[in-house]
Structure 1
Amino acid sequence: MTTSLNLDKSLFFTLPNGLRVMVCQQRSWQTCYVSMSVKAGHFYDPEDCQGLSHLLEHAMFLGSRHLPKPNSINTLVEQCGGTINAWTGTEYANYHFDCQSDALTKLLPAFADMLRTPLMDKAAIRKEIQSIDAEFQFKLKDDLRRLYQIHKETCNPEHPFSKFSVGSGEIFNSHTMDELHQRLQSFHSQYYCGRNMALCIATPFAPSRIKELVAQSFNMLRAGAQAAAEWPALYLPEQLGIQINIVPLQTARRMIVTFALPGLHNDYRTKPLNYLSHLLGDEGEGSLLAYLKSCNWVTNLIAGSGIEGDDFKDFNVSFQLTPTGLNRRFEILNALFAYIDIIKVGVLEPWRYQEKARLAMLATEFDDNPKPLSAACEYAQHLFSYSFEEIPLLHATVEDYDLHSIERALSYFVPQNIRVKTIAPNLPTDRKCRYYDAHYQVAPLPAEMLEALATPEPITALSLPPPNPYLSDDYHLTLPERGFDQPKLIDSSRGLRTWFAQDHQFHSPKGDIYISFDTEAFSVGLQATAAKRIWLAALNDHLQEKYYRADIAGLHYRIYGHQAGFTLHTRGFSNQQTTLAMQLLHSILTFEPGEENFERLKGIQAQGLHNSLMNKPTNRLFSRLSVLIQRNTQAPVELLKAVQDCSLDTVQTLRKQAFGRYFVEAFMHGNWSSEEAIQFARTLNTTCRNATGAPLSRSVTRLPAGVRLFHEVTCEHDDAAVVFYLQAPGSTLQDTALCMVLDQILAAPFFNVLRTEKQLGYVVGTGFVPHNQHPGVTFYVQSPTTSATELLNADYFVSQSASSGTGFLPFLLDKYSAKPA
């Protein structure tokens, strides 16, 4: 759950028309976040016009009484330094925006006008149907969307979850425009009313001031009635205790075990599902994942995700399988239920629950990645399900240990209550799902299997996590020192440089440490890049169990490759971070991959590269753009073969060469004193004895001014796409700022012209794209109906090519089509 709003200064009230409102004051902010939740998701679609709620969401942006032009609200919000968007879910639709705080008085009435009096012009709706259909076509080869549709077809057909939520041109065009227009107006009239809507605003202004603005903006909203929400059971009895085989498009081997639950996620006091996902998803020694990895059956495990509604919840335990694991699914299920049996005993010990509550409290109190707009959307929806008094308790950091609540939740974790999806190539199937042409099969799990899983074989290697050694009682702040508010070089010798800066702005007991290695042996050429990729995968796999407890205690790490070598990045609480960084550094310098897991890890890398070749066209083009602009960056199609051909001897040889001579640059930033930083730099210098090399070049390809270069990528995807890249003449701060401003200025009109007016595609946008700090701007569009050549010749692209006087010239164009030119 998102927890980035401080509710101490919150005001709750209800307008005379029934609109529930939450105003949350955030004094230090300079931005406002606004979210309106409407109980009008796809569950309320008519049976013969499924996707209508989604179409209405699109139509809401096509002009209103006071802003009649399509996307006028988008332009207005962007002029005020913000963004606006919407989504349609199962039970709810949501409209949300952010803006500079002083613009709220202008934007909130416009937002209300958009929601209350949409014009729904028929010609504009006809165009928007093309956008919906383009969105549908865009997802035809998306395995997640295909899996979602199969999920719908294997649940209770009387439950509204079974409806097709997206809509398509075929569905909407089966009605006359007059009929469709009337349906949209009726849907809006019935559901977009005060009693069926809830508003959350996070703002630096006093709630009393915002209350008056809300009343002025929304008092004219019709009261109406709240939508009924009484649904039958999500699953019929015969839809539990089943197995579902699904054949994916990408190379994948997964098993998803779904436990069908009532709305246990609504228990905000005990939060039993959070606790159970914490235990089942553990990755440390003795965990379910550690055991299954040691058997070479599983490479990853995620616990707790799954669809949910006001009164139902799917709790998924998802396993990434090895080829061996695909044939040992019963053993994996046995291990799962054996671990659940251990949990049933372990929950009797309150300390483990209390430790989880403390971890949650630390994550909330020292959240360094707040998502206020997501939080506003979440609270807007909560206003339908909880009283004003309960809302502040939803994300309380002190959770109540209630053994009865936890044991009640565990009572649903039984074999008879599971649905097992297996996703892999070449599985037996006997039917196709609607819309997405995905092949699957449904069959009951054998009775003898369910009986065996009810009393699973105990596994001595499984155990619940011990007390977390990385939890601390000391999260103190270091006093800032003069001269360290900007990065300062504190050590420079041989092939090593260390920089340090204090946090003088956020005053948090946290920090970041970056240690970057430039290693020629791991960087130059396909073979070197492939070997580095496998070595990094093996290293991270080796460290996962050992340092998982640090990660959940707020001490995070990441070891990742880049074009000159690789980087160790630690972040989180500063009090134990230098110790963690040195422990990880020791592992980096000494770890050698062995034979036992080499083929498995190499296979995972090859599978990831193979699947990347099936990414959507725009993703493929941006990947190729990086290859063309950045040196020592390899294309996935070429890297795939190099990974497949790479041997253990090659990895070990190149690793030895890489650590024989290298260059290190480190940066330490956060809640440390200069004395602590200097001591860390000395330790780093002593540890990195072979840091005698020189830094490798990170220069980018400089594209010739005034010349358009074309590069074409071909693949099997049906869509065509163009990425238009403009490289700045230099990498100064002014060049960077101008690129950012150019992106902001052109984003809205580019989207409006190419997507809304010309209907060239669903994926349309602009972006600020730096390569190694050299700035640039991209324009991109992907279309299921228009060829790459036609996209290239669109007026907007032509106008950009003609604008050579700006200093930002069009240098490179990527075209993408299903067939080679």
Structure 2
Amino acid sequence: MKISFYLYLTVALLGAALVGCTQPKPSDTTQVYTSPYDTREYRTLTLENGLQVMLVSDPETEKSAAALAVHVGSMQNPDEQLGLAHFLEHMLFLGTEKYPDPDEYSEFMSRHNGMHNAYTADDHTNYMFEINNSALPEALDRFADFFKAPLFTPEYVEKEVNAVNSEWSMQRANDGFVLFALNNTTLNPAHPISRFRIGNSESLGDKENSKLLDTMVDFYQRYYSANLMTAAVTGNRSLDELEQLARDAFADIPNFNATVEPITAPPATANELQQVIFYKPQIETRELLLDFTLPDLSGSFRSKPATIVAYLIASEMPGTPVALLREAGLIESVNAWGETNNYGNAGRLRVHISLTEQGYAQKDVILGLMFRYFQQLREQGVNEDYVEEVRTVLNNDFQFLRRAGAFQYVSSLAASMLTVPAEHAVDANYRLDSFDKEKTQGVLDKLTPSNVRIFVIAPDVETNQSMHFFDAEYSVKPLADSTIAEWKQLASAVPIKLPAVNRLLPEDLSLVAGEVRETPRELINEAGVSLLYQRSERFQEPRAVVSVNYYKQLSELTWEERTAARMLLNAFNLSQRGLAREAGIAGVQYSLNLGTGLELRMSGFNDKQPLLANLVMERFMAFEPTAEQLEQSRDRFRRDIENMQRERPLRRLFPTFSALTRPEYKSYEARLAGLQAITAEQVLASRDVLLSDVLVRAFVYGNYTETGAKTLTQTLAGYAQVNAARRFREHEPVRNINTFPVGFQSDTALSDSAVLDAYILDDTGMALELAAEMLRDLMHTRFFNQLRTEEQLGYAVGVTTLGLQDKPGLGFYIQSPVRGPGALVERFDTFKADFAEFLATLSDERFAEVQAAVRTSLMQPAQNLNEEAARMRAEWLKEQPQFDRREQKLALVDAMQKEDLQALYTRMLADDAVRVRVEFRGSDFREEAFADAAGWTLLSQ
């Protein structure tokens, strides 16, 4: 199990607060420890075959879900078939004895508004699904059969090898993916973590001493045993009903009393430690990673020694290394996190430092400062005040623990039960029952040069090796003791302090009194200032969501003014990372960015939100970037523009679509040239541009009194020059409809091709939006099964809804390692024609299933305060808010006829439809043509 303080902080940002120790409440007689405000019922049981099950009864949910985790993963791959565990994950979905059709499972999910997925980790594999409540029994029957009687049909072996290969191909040049593999491949070769894990067409296949299918079946029969499995099931049924369903589904999964061989080799020996690994990234970035191998801490979830140490390392309180380095302009961010059992038999503490260009030039000073700080921590030890602060953060978050969606929740529960007692599957990440001084000091004692692996990531590093299976160059050099001494000497004059107390931790966690109404109310609407306010009836907790918008349409600004404003905000937000981290640890997220004009957003504990809002705006008003900060901001935008050209093509499709539909399209070269021409005067002037001649529109949702919400709004309005005559417009302008169809065709340096083919209806209305969603639901599974499963044209394949303003649309997309863009567009066209025939003969039963799926989605209640607020905020952003929109949509769904879908499909895909097409041609397909673009407006990159 990987426990990271960075994860805790992320959770805390989303969470609520309670100062002091929170006692989790036991749920049912099996003592599952859950948040005091969690109204769901829990039960754990161990079936006769040894399989552990967690049941969660949630009467309010419209969706049920289940997950099953197997305690075997990539580290158990045989040497002769690297990637086998991942390949098995793919093959398992392709038919069982009871349900032999390989498409039956995905089609069943699609018919009942469901989704399914799986992942293979180093130490486990996890399968999960979510579906309409009514279909849970049938879904569980199908799901469980994968673990009893999968077919493993030989004819699908080659196809799924191709699917795995496509997945690998899509990631082979992705820096995050490559760095993960580079860390592994440079570890102890005797440890299984060091091997290739994802698999591809080279590593998977028939070999002299290993037939792929036979080896995979042996692997399944050896490890896919009930005693190595855990499962979680949630739904709106009672615990007794869920238990019966779980017993019916899982009780006869075979138990072979399987064992997983313990890993005895250390992940890193002296040969792999005290090293510097240099990596040349695909995108322009400069980073340092410091990895320290730790003992196996998987049993320490009650004391979290690595979490406490990571908290101190990443602190940005005044005088700490991170704060000093930021003030000097040397870093963009520092994160630290501990992983309790990253390698199967050992843990890891990682420090990630994102550098500025100046910081990269002074990386020796940065490393010296960090090692001095580690030494100071070792010598002084950890003060219990810091432990109490971490405990408070975790307790605060757990007290009002936010619900995750059913799909995510069952997946996390099943995985958690593999490594912690079932009764602590919910609260293990939040417990800090005691301070284990010895283990915490033991972690600090590992933060030494003799136990470090340093990764230096930059475009200009010297490399002498290429990675097998990846588009990557690297080199490895020993780290001399004399070098470390030089680093420390370089940083010796810099005074370092341990962190101060967090001033933003909430103190008042009471719930405000007053009436809770069903719909938001406008408390202020005068002199260009408005406030929409509501308290939550469903989520009674001391948190709130706030948006304050200094509104003006960005289209009123020139491209240069918008860019200057973004540079100012970028420089400002980077200068305030310390405040953002302090607030985040205390459970409040904030952002100050461009949306519909300048917008300040906050979510989390409401207690210190007014203080935080004023701090942010006061500092923004006073902020004047130095020449160095300005150039660093310019450089970040330059890298963003240039790095987008190096991204894998799938990630470029939708940003390119957005750019093509704007009124003002700027090419890659024009954006770079324009960026360089922005002056310091323009950047400084942009603050007045953003805060003058505006409306002030505030949205306050949650634990505020009316008076408190008004005071906050009026205070923040004081930072702007308001124009009461300005009118609010919901949408920014888009490209003139007469200039469509619009296309983009470009070669990419990466091997794969990618296409997005979009059709947009030149009409608006809720009924049309719903019909487009229903068409997408009907099309996606057929499109995926045909192009991905059957034809193996790519791994990332799908149909999505998109549009212009309120005009609905559909987009077909793919990234492919086997076809060029012209051939892919032709295949899309064939599918569309075939789907028209399918739609013409659509049965009443199938239409009713899609209708029910949309209705279920609309009926699903919000899972947490943020989600509930987001639904109301979406209406706040409309010119004519309709807070009964869901009810209107439900009525429209009920009135929908299949003829409405047929008519929309005909209109949307007509020859004169609004079209946008994005094509990237991979390096493997230079000889293949782009799609015919006669009559199209083609824009260059």
Q: Is the 2:61–2:236 Cα contact (8 Å) retained in structure 1? A: yes
The one-letter code of the counterpart of 1:796 is F
Within the candidate set 202, 209, 223, 2:255 is matched to 223
Q: Is the 1:83–1:98 Cα contact (8 Å) retained in structure 2? A: yes
Which ranges of structure 1 fall in alignment gaps of 5 or more residues?
Answer: none
Alpha carbons of structure 1 residues 277 and 522: separation in structure 2 relative to 1, 3 Å: farther
Partner of 1:478: 512
Correspondence 1:716 to 2:745: no
Partner of 1:167: 199
Partner of 1:364: 398
Partner of 2:73: 41
Partner of 1:617: 649
Deviation larger for 782-791 or 283-292: 283-292
Displacement, 1:57?
0.7
Alignment of 1:307-386 (within 5 A): 308-344=342-378, 347-368=381-402, 370=404, 372-386=406-420
Alpha carbons of structure 1 residues 745 and 208: separation in structure 2 relative to 1, 3 Å: same
Displacement, 1:453?
6.7
Partner of 1:267: 300
Alpha carbons of structure 1 residues 341 and 636: separation in structure 2 relative to 1, 3 Å: farther
Q: Helix, strand or coil for the counterpart of 1:469?
A: coil
Within the candidate set 821, 824, 831, 1:788 is matched to 821
Partner of 1:592: 624
Within the candidate set 908, 914, 920, 1:816 is matched to 920
Partner of 1:403: 437
Tell me the distance in 2 between the aligned counterparts of 1:525 and 1:712. Answer: 27
Displacement, 1:737?
2.6
Which ranges of structure 2 fall in alignment gaps of 5 or more residues?
Answer: 16-26, 35-40, 840-901, 931-941
Q: Is the 2:535–2:704 Cα contact (8 Å) retained in structure 1? A: yes
Correspondence 1:648 to 2:752: no
Residue-by-residue CA offset, 1:135-154 (whole Å, 9 max, x unaligned): 12212221222222322221
Q: Helix, strand or coil for the counterpart of 2:503?
A: coil
Q: Is the 1:523–1:529 Cα contact (8 Å) retained in structure 2? A: no
Partner of 2:868: none
Partner of 1:549: 582
Deviation larger for 615-624 or 484-493: 484-493
Residue-by-residue CA offset, 1:207-237 (whole Å, 9 max, x unaligned): 3333322222223222111322233111121
Displacement, 1:65?
1.4
Q: Is the 1:30–1:101 Cα contact (8 Å) retained in structure 2? A: yes
Correspondence 1:769 to 2:868: no
Tell me the distance in 2 between the aligned counterparts of 1:346 and 1:733. Answer: 63
Tell me the distance in 2 between the aligned counterparts of 1:686 and 1:525. Answer: 26
Displacement, 1:640?
3.2
Partner of 2:466: 432
Residue-by-residue CA offset, 1:752-774 (whole Å, 9 max, x unaligned): 11111121111101223355555
The one-letter code of the counterpart of 2:636 is I
Displacement, 1:134?
1.3
Partner of 1:561: 594
Within the candidate set 503, 517, 523, 1:469 is matched to 503
Partner of 2:854: none
Displacement, 1:536?
0.9
Deviation larger for 457-466 or 79-88: 457-466
Q: Is the 1:480–1:504 Cα contact (8 Å) retained in structure 2? A: no
Tell me the distance in 2 between the aligned counterparts of 1:589 and 1:745. Answer: 51
Displacement, 1:505?
2.7
Q: Helix, strand or coil for the counterpart of 2:147?
A: helix
Q: Helix, strand or coil for the counterpart of 1:318?
A: strand
Alignment of 1:98-497 (within 5 A): 98-175=130-207, 179-224=211-256, 225-304=258-337, 308-344=342-378, 347-368=381-402, 370=404, 372-388=406-422, 391=425, 394-450=428-484, 461-479=495-513, 481=515, 484-497=517-530
Alpha carbons of structure 1 residues 73 and 300: separation in structure 2 relative to 1, 3 Å: same
Tell me the distance in 2 between the aligned counterparts of 1:390 and 1:270. Answer: 14
Residue-by-residue CA offset, 1:576-634 (whole Å, 9 max, x unaligned): 32332233233334433232421122212211221122222122121111123344676
Q: Helix, strand or coil for the counterpart of 1:216?
A: helix
Q: Percent identity?
A: 22
Q: Is the 2:304–2:432 Cα contact (8 Å) retained in structure 1? A: no
Within the candidate set 783, 791, 806, 2:904 is matched to 806
Deviation larger for 187-196 or 664-673: 664-673
Alpha carbons of structure 1 residues 520 and 55: separation in structure 2 relative to 1, 3 Å: closer
The one-letter code of the counterpart of 2:812 is F
Q: Is the 1:631–1:699 Cα contact (8 Å) retained in structure 2? A: no
Displacement, 1:111?
0.6
Displacement, 1:791?
1.0
Q: Is the 1:724–1:778 Cα contact (8 Å) retained in structure 2? A: yes
The CA RMSD over aligned residues, in Å, is 3.0
Partner of 2:713: 681
Tell me the distance in 1 between the aligned counterparts of 2:705 and 2:99. Answer: 55
Q: Is the 2:568–2:686 Cα contact (8 Å) retained in structure 1? A: no
Tell me the distance in 2 between the aligned counterparts of 1:220 and 1:34. Answer: 17
Within the candidate set 765, 772, 781, 1:748 is matched to 781
Displacement, 1:327?
2.9
Q: Is the 1:609–1:637 Cα contact (8 Å) retained in structure 2? A: no
Displacement, 1:91?
1.7
The one-letter code of the counterpart of 1:169 is S
Tell me the distance in 1 between the aligned counterparts of 2:163 and 2:389. Answer: 49
Q: Helix, strand or coil for the counterpart of 1:507?
A: coil
- The structure whose RCO (Cα within 8 Å, separation 6+) is larger is 2
Displacement, 1:48?
1.2
The one-letter code of the counterpart of 1:405 is K
Displacement, 1:190?
1.1
Tell me the distance in 2 between the aligned counterparts of 1:634 and 1:476. Answer: 51
Displacement, 1:324?
2.5
Q: Is the 1:33–1:202 Cα contact (8 Å) retained in structure 2? A: yes
Q: Is the 1:259–1:419 Cα contact (8 Å) retained in structure 2? A: yes
Tell me the distance in 2 between the aligned counterparts of 1:345 and 1:141. Answer: 42
Alpha carbons of structure 1 residues 620 and 584: separation in structure 2 relative to 1, 3 Å: same
Partner of 2:771: 738
Partner of 1:62: 94
Displacement, 1:342?
3.8
Alpha carbons of structure 1 residues 128 and 705: separation in structure 2 relative to 1, 3 Å: farther
Partner of 1:778: 811
Residue-by-residue CA offset, 1:548-594 (whole Å, 9 max, x unaligned): 322211121111223x4332111112223233223323333443323
Displacement, 1:705?
10
Displacement, 1:534?
0.7
Alpha carbons of structure 1 residues 348 and 624: separation in structure 2 relative to 1, 3 Å: closer
Tell me the distance in 2 between the aligned counterparts of 1:227 and 1:348. Answer: 37
Q: Is the 1:511–1:671 Cα contact (8 Å) retained in structure 2? A: yes
The one-letter code of the counterpart of 1:503 is S
Tell me the distance in 1 between the aligned counterparts of 2:377 and 2:282. Answer: 36
Tell me the distance in 2 between the aligned counterparts of 1:457 and 1:701. Answer: 53
Alpha carbons of structure 1 residues 684 and 42: separation in structure 2 relative to 1, 3 Å: closer
The one-letter code of the counterpart of 1:782 is Q
Partner of 1:76: 108
Deviation larger for 403-412 or 710-719: 710-719
